Amino acid sequence: MKHRLMTGVTAAVMAVVIGVGGTAKPVKAAVPYVQIAIAVASALFSGGGGGGDLERAKREIIDAINAARQEIIGQIDNIASAEVRACTDAATTKMLLIDQLDPFSLSLFVNDAVNCATLSSAFFDAVQTPAAADTIGKLIGTIYSIALVGFTKLGFPTVDLLDRLIRSYDAVVVKLAPRCDEQRVVEYDNQGRPFYVEIQYTCTAYNGDTAYGVETYYRGRPGVRLDRVAVQNEATRNTSRATAQLALPTLRSLRAGLG
């Protein structure tokens, strides 16, 4: 959304007021996708190892699934791959019963959960449409969290799963980046010299959400400075890209503590 340029000092002041913003829906409060991955990984790895507090990690993901079960089911139903859809549904359902599984059933469940996590990452890499990628992107943290808890319960090393989750979230950030357009508008004084320059930067996410920022110069002096990354992130605030960006700093910090 562009504003109509004004001349002179008034235009420079107006640009300061506009700054960076969005023109579409506000951030949605639905499933705490980012909290699931952060809570589980923090419980398992904050002590510098892959064992951590298994009971707390298990409770975090079970509570999250119970609190947002219908929303999660809705996302699962939107997965284009029948195989990924089936394994994700099974993993989130059986996770609620993990303490009731006998050793043999637990081993099968954990094996299936790990396979589902890696399959979801592969499917994300393969899908062509942003909408399909976004659906998987929202569930990747939950799927990997289930696999992490299962591996920990069996006493298996979990660092590789954490690395895979980080790589998957990195892929989400790249694949769901918004389309951005930059325009420069120049006003001239009576002698034909540049009087006011405004750089208009607009980003649009695949779902139609937008964000807008400006950078201004008045008689060659900088005014408002443009943060392009902030505009990009604002545009994708309602996608799994935002989830990945929120989770990655914590996940990377936990990984660094493992050596």
Q: b/e string for 12-34 if b means 16 or more Cβ within 10 A? A: bebbeebebebebeeeeeebbbb
151 & 103 share domain: yes
| CA–CA distance, 101 with 149 (Å, rounded to integer) | 14
Q: Residue 50 has what pLDDT?
A: 59
Other Cβ atoms within 10 Å of 171 Cβ, number: 17
Q: Residue 49 has what pLDDT?
A: 61
12 & 114 share domain: no
Q: Is the pLDDT of residue 31 over 60?
A: no
**Domain-located, residue 126:** yes
| CA–CA distance, 181 with 247 (Å, rounded to integer) | 27
**Band (241; pLDDT cuts 50, 70, 90):** very high
156 & 186 share domain: no
| CA–CA distance, 257 with 259 (Å, rounded to integer) | 6
Residue 108's contacts (CB-CB under 8 Å, 6 or more residues apart) are none
142 & 201 share domain: no
DSSP 48: S
137 & 63 share domain: yes
129 & 190 share domain: no
Residue 34's contacts (CB-CB under 8 Å, 6 or more residues apart) are 141, 242, 243, 246, 247
**What angle separates helix 54-67 from helix 82-95, to the nearest 10 degrees?**
120
What pLDDT digit, counting tens, does each position of 177-228 carry? 999 999 999 898 888 888 889 999 999 999 999 999 999 888 778 877 889 9
Q: Residue 254 has what pLDDT?
A: 93
204 & 109 share domain: no
**Band (17; pLDDT cuts 50, 70, 90):** very low
| CA–CA distance, 39 with 44 (Å, rounded to integer) | 9
Closest-CA residue to 120 (of 94, 139, 107): 139
156 & 189 share domain: no
DSSP 257: T
80 & 206 share domain: no
Q: Is the pLDDT of residue 44 over 50?
A: yes
What pLDDT digit, counting tens, does each position of 54-107 carry? 999 999 889 888 887 777 888 788 887 888 889 999 999 999 999 999 999 999
64 & 141 share domain: yes
81 & 202 share domain: no
Q: Provide the number of structural domains found in the chain.
A: 2
The residue segments making up the domain with residue 211 are: 8-25+178-235
Beta bridge partner(s), residue 179: 204
Q: pLDDT exceeding 90 applies to what percent of the chain?
A: 58
**Domain-located, residue 62:** yes
> Which tokens hold the place of 210?
């937008």
Higher pLDDT, 133 or 69: 133
**What angle separates helix 130-154 from helix 240-256, to the nearest 10 degrees?**
30
Q: Residue 1 has what pLDDT?
A: 38
Mean pLDDT of the chain: 84
**Domain-located, residue 2:** no
| CA–CA distance, 45 with 158 (Å, rounded to integer) | 9
57 & 168 share domain: yes
**Domain-located, residue 101:** yes
> Which tokens hold the place of 35?
């909290």
Q: Is the pLDDT of residue 29 over 70?
A: no
**Domain-located, residue 1:** no
Q: Is the pLDDT of residue 154 over 80?
A: yes
Q: Is the pLDDT of residue 159 over 50?
A: yes
